Structure 1
Amino acid sequence: MDDDVAVERLRALIRVPTVSRDDSDMQDAAAFARFPQVLAELYPRIHTTLELEHLDGPGLLYRWRGRTTGDALILMAHWDVVPADEEGWTHEPFGAALTVTAEGERRVWGRGAIDDKGALAGILEAVDDLLAAGFVPENDVYLSFGGDEEVQGSAAERAVEVVHGRGVAVDFVLDEGGAVVQGQFPGVSEPTAVIGIAEKGIATIELRASEPGGHAAHPPRSGVTATTRLAHAIQRVSQPTPAVLPPTAYPMFAALASRARGSLGLAYRHPRLFRPVLLRALAAGSDEANALIRTTRVVTRLRGAAADNVLPEVATASVNMRIVVGSTLDAEVERIRRDIDDPRIAVRVVRGSDPGPVAPAEGRPWQRLVDALAVSHPEAVAVPYAMLGATDGRHFTRLTPAVYRFTPFELTKAELAGLHAIDESIRVDAYLRGIRFYRALLEGA
């Protein structure tokens, strides 16, 4: 593999502004139409050898025929990205700038560098490299690339329907997810490769307050308006939910126990005995560690009056909720109602789903991930955990419970902070090591 060519192909993909929006009429339709064409131009060997289907959604489903059809491997990524306002960016978000520091560190900047065109390009580079070497997988390999993941679209569901309809036996699925990180877990200083064996449920909840409207010049003497009633509900719903140890915590602790120092190492080895200690440690750790042990609720949108001088008759808030593994959507909605404790606040589920099944953190599929990691990141320990965000992978649990969420890039806290924010970027060395992971994984297919 030519490293420089691999980097240039990633940059070319970032330059196509495939920004997903809730209102599809606001999308750049030409960019979405151009992206598959760019893939074909950049990777002609893949498009000559693999079978490609364009799915509604939009989605791209490649099939790499193996020597046998059973126990197929499915690798996933998405090629749509979230919006990026140029204000505040060090480099243009779709310029795909390549910078080099005085120390020689190369970095590619742009929306999608990590989430998720980096993974998509990494998969394709590994496949292309193996094709050039004449490699034929033992079992079929499918590449499922969705173009509407960021808006929870239907491309992934359509891919599942196609694969399921053909009766394909699936060994396991790998989608985006955790990364190789450092300092995320209390008591562990070495790098950890956090691999999602499940993901939290996701829901959008609407809080709705209704009060008489009128002119803002003479508000009610009580001070109670739709907005003040809603504000009180927002304060209550924004309080942390109780911390729990979900079922995914126990294999996570078992993996961490081999690397943890001091008393926390003892606690990781005996999580039931030291449950209060672990809950306090995770709650006081990083934001990500805290989110592992509870359902999170965040108000993301507010709506009120149509003008500055109007008392709104209706005020609404959108709550983004991520449901801890082991709980349910119904249980968490009921908790919201109890916490608000105001019958005049209507609570409505706009959309939502329960957490999915938990993939095994042992056995052949898990070991294949660990073996590939030993090639690309031998210094990291594989740690199973519950994915905090929602991925297209949740739809693939219909095919097999062995759905894993892992992006094989070593990422710093600053790089993680760039996801869905300004200055998303990836170090070239981290990207190239990710390609080695995908190649090692495919060689076991």
Structure 2
Amino acid sequence: MHSTIDPRTGSAAPAPSALRTGRDAAPKLARLLTFRTVSSRIPEEVETDQFDAFIAALPELFPRVAAALELERVNGHGLLYRWAGGSAETGDARAPAVLMAHYDVVPVEDPAAWEHPPFAGTITDTSICGRGALDDKGALAAVLEAAEQLLAEGFTPARDIYFSFGNNEETAGDTAAAAAALLAGRGIRPWLVLDEGGAVASGAFPFVQAPLAVVGVAEKGILDVELATEDAGGHASTPNRMGATARLARAILRLERRPFPAALPEVTVEMVERLSAAAPLLPRLVLGNVRRLRRPLTRVFGLLGGEPNAMTRTTVAITQLRGSKGSNVLATRASANANIRVAVGESVASTLTRLRTVIRDPKVSLHVVEGNEPSPVSATTNAQFALLEETISGTFPDAVPVPYIMLGGTDARRFTTICDAVYRFAPFRMSAADRASIHADNEKLGIETFGEGILFYRALMGAL
């Protein structure tokens, strides 16, 4: 999968090693990490000049891409590249492919907690360090570097390939939706869309030693609901029973004690079936019979907590609390934000209905701050998924490709209105520690891992 045709000899040229590829391209990613492209819902907090500088650096770092691909700005700082394929010349009406990434990042809470400054773009003997290395500038740089290398070899894709790079994914912004609408307005329905999401994850599932190449075929809905109560308030020295804060606390505890019902959706069943082949004998016998053991395995997933539990149900996390502004003042209004990840098969409406049922207190109001439904589920039996499996196996021969439902959200959901084959996979090896560093301290991407990602995109573009 990694070899390409040498235009000078007409024969297959061996691909360089992942380590060498990563080392050669590491300074480019490091440079991109120096730009403080932190997104915020408050416009005044966005350093627009940093986004401008990031965009201005791309032609310098990837000159062949800048010269050969059309670039269109979307929604201000979104980028939509078009790599014209050979199908137009031959009359082969192949639908295009879209490769996605985003270059905005989340804030850094405490720069002093980082081993290397978060926006220095430090390269060590093994890693490229900085905010955004994994989420998601690493994927953006890997896409562009893969295209840069293919262009240097005289390669032309068989179909048009679009690169859609967003600038406000971390705030669930509207750039990806604008890009999808732009393509829709031109009558373009992509054959394949691939965004960030899953990865080549080690230690992701109990009993399985082999790394799992988890490909998101859908993603949960994301819903923020404000729970609020009101009361007369007064002095804290004379509190009444069930004041605003106490009533709110009771509602929260009821939600904590009665989680949403658990179930193993079909995607998760298929995931377990596929990964069972990599498990030891006894777990393999259990996991391989997941359809017959669906009910007890659902309970086991729930008991494991964390990611396994979240794969089985709609989850509710109370992320913000507000009450009185004074330590000796009773709150006249208390509120909490519930961040909810809506399981595939559920809806925003059904979620709100259950919240009201569990809280069972009409004095607790529910207000939807924002939210979206779970995405449609893309197939695992089509040519698009087969191509992803083949490319994964060629790049990561030790990994087991499996479908899964993403627990977080991506820009990819914006493209499900114009494409039936939308997948979420970042071609990087990630340990549990790597995954934990996303949105946290000491985010970094291994140099060899970065090289593998570049080789993955080379192979994928070559096969499209």
| 1:414 corresponding residue in structure 2 | 433
Where do 1:119-198 residues align within 5 Å?
119-198=139-218
Contact 2:52 2:77 survives alignment (8 Å): no
Correspondent of 1:74 among 95, 98, 109: 98
Distance 1:20 1:97, change over 3 A: same
Shift, 1:275, TM fit: 1.1
Q: Tell me the distance in 2 between the aligned counterparts of 1:306 and 1:41.
A: 51
What is the deviation of 1:162?
Answer: 1.0
Separation in structure 1 between the aligned mates of residue 231 and residue 140 of structure 2, nearest angstrom: 49
2:283 is equivalent to residue 264 of structure 1? yes
Aligned residues: 438
Distance change (3 Å), C-alpha of 1:87 and 1:303: farther
- Paired with 2:230 and 2:434, the residues of 1 have a C-alpha distance of 42
Residues 374-383 or 258-267, more deviating: 258-267
Deviations 1:296-354 (A, max 9, x none): 11011111122323211111111110011111111111111111111110011111111
Q: Helix, strand or coil: the match of 2:191? A: strand
Question: Which is worse superposed, 416-425 or 230-239?
Answer: 230-239
1:103 is matched with: none
Does residue 427 of the first structure (1) align with residue 446 of the second (2)? yes
Amino acid aligned to 2:114: W
3-state SS, counterpart of residue 398 of structure 1: coil
Match of residue 226 from structure 1: 244
1:200 matched to which residue of 2? 220
User: What letter corresponds to residue 288 of structure 1 in structure 2?
Assistant: E
- Give the gaps of 5 or more residues in structure 2: 1-15, 89-93
Superposition RMSD in Å:
1.5
CA distance in 2, matches of 1:337, 1:438: 46
Q: What is the identity, as a one-letter code, of the residue corresponding to 1:56?
A: N
Partner deviation per Cα, 1:73-130 (whole Å, 9 max, x = no partner): 1000000000002142222111122223xxxxx1121110000001111111111110
1:91 aligns with 2:116: yes
Change (3 A) 1:328 1:57: farther
Q: CA deviation at 1:260?
A: 2.5
User: Which of 261, 279, 297 pairs up with 1:278?
Assistant: 297
Secondary structure, counterpart of 1:241 in structure 2: coil
Q: List aligned pairs for 1:222-371, cutoff 5 A.
A: 222=241, 224-239=242-257, 240-285=259-304, 287-371=306-390
SS at 1:378's partner residue? coil
For residue 106 of structure 2, what is the amino acid of its counterpart?
V
Higher mean C-alpha displacement, 298-307 vs 380-389: 298-307
Q: 1:404 aligns with which of 418, 423, 426?
A: 423
Classify the secondary structure of the residue corresponding to 1:373.
helix
> What is the match of residue 377 of structure 1?
396
Instruction: Tell me the distance in 1 between the aligned counterparts of 2:216 and 2:144.
Output: 22
Structure 1 consecutive aligned stretches of length 4 or more whose deviation exceeds 4 Å:
none
Gaps of 5+ in 1: 101-105
Shift of 1:42: 1.1
1:286 positional shift: 6.1
1: CA distance, partners of 2:342 / 2:408: 10
TM superposition score normalised by structure 2: 0.91
- Which residue identity is paired with 2:108? A
Whichever residue aligns with residue 244 of structure 2, its letter is A
In the aligned structure 2, how far is the partner of 1:428 from the partner of 1:283?
36
Contact (CA 8 Å) 1:204, 1:320: kept in 2 or not?
A: yes
The answer to whether the 8 A contact 1:57-1:158 is kept is: no
Q: 1:112 aligns with which of 108, 132, 138?
A: 132
Q: CA deviation at 1:382?
A: 0.4
Contact kept? 1:248, 1:325, Cα under 8 Å? no
Equivalent pair of 1:110/1:423 in contact (CA under 8 Å):
yes
Q: Name the SS of the counterpart of 2:390 in structure 1.
A: helix
- 1:43 maps to 62
Q: Which position in structure 1 is the counterpart of 2:236?
A: 216
Q: Distance in 1 between matches of 2:33 and 2:286?
A: 44
CA distance in 2, matches of 1:246, 1:207: 29
Over the matched positions of the two proteins, sequence identity in percent amounts to 42
8 Å CA contact 1:324–1:355 kept in 2: the answer is yes
Shift of 1:57: 5.0
Aligned equivalents of 2:130, 2:321: Cα separation in 1:
29
C-alpha contact 2:263 2:312 (8 A) present in aligned 1 = yes
How far, CA to CA, are the matches of 2:462 and 2:376 in structure 1? 27
* Deviation string, structure 1 residues 401-425 (Cα, Å, up to 9, x no partner): 2100001110111111011111111
